[in-house]
Structure 1
Amino acid sequence: MNLTKFSVLKTIASPRFVPCRNSAYCPEPDKVPTVVSIIGGHTGEGQLTALLLKQSKLVDEIRLYSGLINTCGTAFDLSHIDTNPVVKSYFGQALLKDAISGAHVVLVCGGHPTKPCKSQADLFEENADYVRNIAIYLGEFNPKGILCISTPPVSALVPMVSAELKKEPVYDPRRVLGIMTMGVIRSNTIAGRYINRNPADVAVPVIGGMCRRTLVPIFSQIKPTANLEKALQILLHDKVCSAEDEAVDLKYIENTGSCFVSNAFACARFVTSVLKGLKGRRDVVECAFVRQLGHIESFLPYMGSVVKLGRSGIDSTHMPRINDLECDYLQKAYPFLKRHIEMGEAYIVGDFPKECLINPRLSGYCQFVTKKAVTQIGDFKLNLETPNKQEEKKCIDIIT
């Protein structure tokens, strides 16, 4: 189909078209600039995401917002890059309305990062107000904007934001997405190395959630097709699910903050896909944690699935075929996902389930990372400040 010809015919048929003999004086249709607002622009993840989006031809304006640190210097620094997008800075609660209004995509990143031995309940408690504040402003001043959430835990914050927006008649489940691209690129990279393929050519769909207990990579549907033995699928699943914990431990040893480099890449890729969908591309597919409106809703109202993106955000959601092993992993993830969803919704509507009121803590020795004063090289030690004074080498798992 000749899209150029179609667009010309559409313009001619439009009542705004004014015939003109001299084309030099014919008015051009007003072009609405494509705006992306990055909430948490002062963080490493926000800055690197802005750097990657500054190189995109799909973006006309990038807005960096922070309620804690002024991002004028970062915006001015990015503006020196000789690409088209204009970079603007917004600082403080008073300018949050301006940062969000008129934005096509609002990306929420930053907040409190994942740390060793920190539970999903702890993360939610620390980041809930931060993300809820953005949702309130979005519902009031930009209900048509697409909200992309990268701040953890996505599986609790997406239901919380949805419950907040449901208070007003502006809620559209197609416009609230939790980013799961980080799980996808980890799965692609790890699987590609084991099957001797370039990770850029590998595609592994991811469903469930984003934490270690809820992430379910679907290696049975890997592209290009590969017949992976069950033992290899188990190995790959364990490596993908433990990859974040390993990276967090190493970053903590180095004292270099959270794992924001790969997260920024994942955010930029996801936002780029959303923008492609907004501009009419029909072949844009990503994995995201979203509201389930089909037959999956009877299983879980929110879950990570494959989504097709379009002009309104999500065009459709799809669940890939799964084998018995992946079905077993999904069944094990179910109670944790259900608890996260209830925790997020109850934060808005009240009436916390009894189990959500309990914030589980480590009751024994926890293996944690400390930094040596001279060498700056970390080592693993045992916390010996617990009452029973008994050695235990295994870090107790927290039910998240």
Structure 2
Amino acid sequence: MFSRIAARNFSSSAANAYKVSILGAAGGIGQPLSLLLKLNGKVTDLSLYDLKLAKGVAADLSHIPTKSVVHGFTLADDGLSRALQNADVVLIPAGVPRKPGMTRDDLFNTNASIVKGLAEACAENCPSAAICVISNPVNSTVPIVREVLKRKGVFNPQKLFGVTTLDTLRANRFISEIVGSDPAREDVSVVGGHSGVTIVPLISQTQYSDTIPKEKADALIQRIQHGGDEVVKAKDGAGSATLSMAQAGARFAGSVLSGLAGEQDVLEATYIDSPLFKDEGIEFFASRVTLGPQGVKEIHGLGLLSVAEEDMIATAKETLRKNIKKGIDFVKANA
């Protein structure tokens, strides 16, 4: 599936044209993400915003011969509003990165304030846009954006996404290393949330459910759940997953654009306002969705789970409940 989606997303013959805004475009994720979106044939207006350096990034990218026009904006001259005006898709990678020993929850206080301010700007300047939140901790920042949009009277549950695609990419890559397959052809379903135990790879639903020994399967799940730690450690504290996250963000944005363009069978996993466990007080949950012209077209159930996966889902829900509440409470306390 991935290879098919990738080919579709980066086709230069797309009939539809869209404005995409990236908030935090000069950062470690933002720059490669901006490059990948510059190569997407559906993007005709690429607007880059950051506190500084966004104009330089835009000038650099503008020399690449694709059909999109690139604009860079900073705080000066009402840059945030101009970057967002009439955007079709907004990606938010803005925020501070994770450092050694830091959990995604440790990022909360700083990134929550950043995301809240950007959500307010989206509500005012592009209320109909599809908003794709990359800023961690996603389990809490997406609820923050929802609460802001609700207060502004413009919340559309079909167009607010937490980008969990990196978990899918890692699952596909890591399982291929065990079974010796082409990772581009793997399609592991990863549900729940976007941190630690909330990340639940559904290995039982792959073709390898009966061939991977339990010890290897357990180690695989652990690696998928904590893949970010692997990168932070390898970078010796100098950064976190930026390049792989940029690819994940570009893939997801490309799928959203394909859905908006009316293409069929566009499937991705994403963290959304979901009915799956809402009766248990879990207002957000990542699962596969079909994307369409209005955003989320269909939310898919989890399917048949193994006993171990049911246990992981139960653990994930307990953590998600706390993460979601933390985001909602932040907006209430900072209204």
* TM-score, L = length of structure 2: 0.90
What is the aligned partner in structure 2 of residue 301 from structure 1? Answer: 283
The gaps in structure 1 that reach 5 residues or longer are 1-30, 352-400
Aligned counterparts of 2:16 and 2:165: Cα–Cα separation in 1: 28
Q: Please tell me whether the aligned partners of residues 16 and 42 of structure 2 are also in contact (alpha carbons under 8 angstroms).
A: no
Q: Please tell me whether the aligned partners of residues 208 and 215 of structure 1 are also in contact (alpha carbons under 8 angstroms).
A: yes
> Aligned letter for 1:343?
K
Shift of residue 316, structure 1, vs aligned partner: 1.5
The gaps in structure 2 that reach 5 residues or longer are 1-14
Aligned counterparts of 1:225 and 1:98: Cα–Cα separation in 2: 50
Please, what is the CA RMSD of the aligned residues? 1.8
What is the aligned partner in structure 2 of residue 234 from structure 1? Answer: 218
Post-superposition CA distance 1:327-378 (Å, at most 9, x none): 1111122221111000000111249xxxxxxxxxxxxxxxxxxxxxxxxxxx
Shift of residue 215, structure 1, vs aligned partner: 0.8
2:299 corresponds to 1:317:
yes
Q: Please tell me whether the aligned partners of residues 203 and 209 of structure 2 are also in contact (alpha carbons under 8 angstroms).
A: no
Q: Please tell me whether the aligned partners of residues 35 and 63 of structure 1 are also in contact (alpha carbons under 8 angstroms).
A: yes
Aligned counterparts of 1:319 and 1:231: Cα–Cα separation in 2: 28
> What percent identity do the matched residue pairs reach?
33
* TM-score, L = length of structure 1: 0.76
Name the one with the larger helix percent. Answer: 2
Question: Alignment partner for residue 109 of structure 1, among 86, 93, 103?
Answer: 93
> Aligned letter for 1:284?
V
Pairs aligned (count) = 317
What is the aligned partner in structure 2 of residue 19 from structure 1? Answer: none
1:252 is paired with a residue whose SS is: coil
2:90 corresponds to 1:85:
no
Q: Please tell me whether the aligned partners of residues 278 and 313 of structure 1 are also in contact (alpha carbons under 8 angstroms).
A: yes
1:52 is paired with a residue whose SS is: helix
What is the aligned partner in structure 2 of residue 172 from structure 1? Answer: 156
What is the aligned partner in structure 1 of residue 267 from structure 2? Answer: 285
> Aligned letter for 2:55?
C
2:315 is paired with a residue whose SS is: helix
> Aligned letter for 1:320?
L
Which protein, 1 or 2, shows the higher relative CO under an 8 Å CA cutoff with sep ≥ 6? 2
Moved over 6 A (4+): none
Shift of residue 164, structure 1, vs aligned partner: 1.2
Q: Please tell me whether the aligned partners of residues 259 and 291 of structure 2 are also in contact (alpha carbons under 8 angstroms).
A: yes
Q: Please tell me whether the aligned partners of residues 52 and 265 of structure 1 are also in contact (alpha carbons under 8 angstroms).
A: yes
Going from structure 1 to structure 2, the CA distance change for 1:333 and 1:283 (only over 3 Å counts) comes to same
Q: Please tell me whether the aligned partners of residues 221 and 320 of structure 1 are also in contact (alpha carbons under 8 angstroms).
A: no
Post-superposition CA distance 1:118-148 (Å, at most 9, x none): 2333211110111111111111221100100
Shift of residue 112, structure 1, vs aligned partner: 0.8
Post-superposition CA distance 1:41-61 (Å, at most 9, x none): 111211101111111111111
Aligned counterparts of 2:145 and 2:168: Cα–Cα separation in 1: 23
Q: Please tell me whether the aligned partners of residues 101 and 141 of structure 1 are also in contact (alpha carbons under 8 angstroms).
A: yes
2:106 is paired with a residue whose SS is: helix
Q: Please tell me whether the aligned partners of residues 202 and 223 of structure 1 are also in contact (alpha carbons under 8 angstroms).
A: no
Question: Alignment partner for residue 254 of structure 2, among 272, 278, 283?
Answer: 272
Question: Alignment partner for residue 126 of structure 2, among 142, 163, 169?
Answer: 142
